[in-house]
Amino acid sequence: MTELNEHIRQLAKPNITIDHCPDYFEKEEGGCVWYLDPKPLISLSQWPLETTNMYLIALHELGHLMTDQHPESKGCRKITNRNLLPQEVLLNEWLAWEWAKENSINDWTPEAIRFRNEKLLTYAAKDRWESLNIQLT
């Protein structure tokens, strides 16, 4: 895990702060971006990272910043009705995962794809992703 933690630190420096935020995520692995001034904060349920899945989450959250996505709702949010999420939110999530895949120092394994898909399915059902020409395979 040392190499994965160092990779996240290197990607974040010097413009992004990463911190541990266990209270928000309760028992699940998760992360979110707070668009703060002068530099954004990535809150993670684990920091330093303890699992490969958390490495993927950290990369994904960095992907939101590196792809220059700035959603209207800043900070962490719980999804209460995934059917009401605008298309823009779904596309931002997909782009952040694509950035994570392209910038991972690990091969993107079938397990990583499954994990990404599980996370994406918390935002919308598979048929909604397919309507955006995104195949969760």
Tens digits of per-residue pLDDT, 82-122? Answer: 777 889 889 999 999 999 999 999 999 999 999 999 999 99
Interatomic CA distance for residues 20 and 14, integer angstroms = 18
pTM for this predicted structure: 0.89
Residue 42 near residue 21 (C-beta atoms within 8 A): no
Boundaries of every domain in the chain: 2-131
- What lies within 8 Å, CB to CB, of 60 at 6+ separation is 31, 96, 97, 99, 100, 116, 119
Second-level CATH architecture of 2-131 = 2-Layer Sandwich (3.30)
pLDDT band at 80 (very low <50, low <70, confident <90, very high): low
Interatomic CA distance for residues 102 and 25, integer angstroms = 26
**What's the pLDDT score for residue 76?**
60
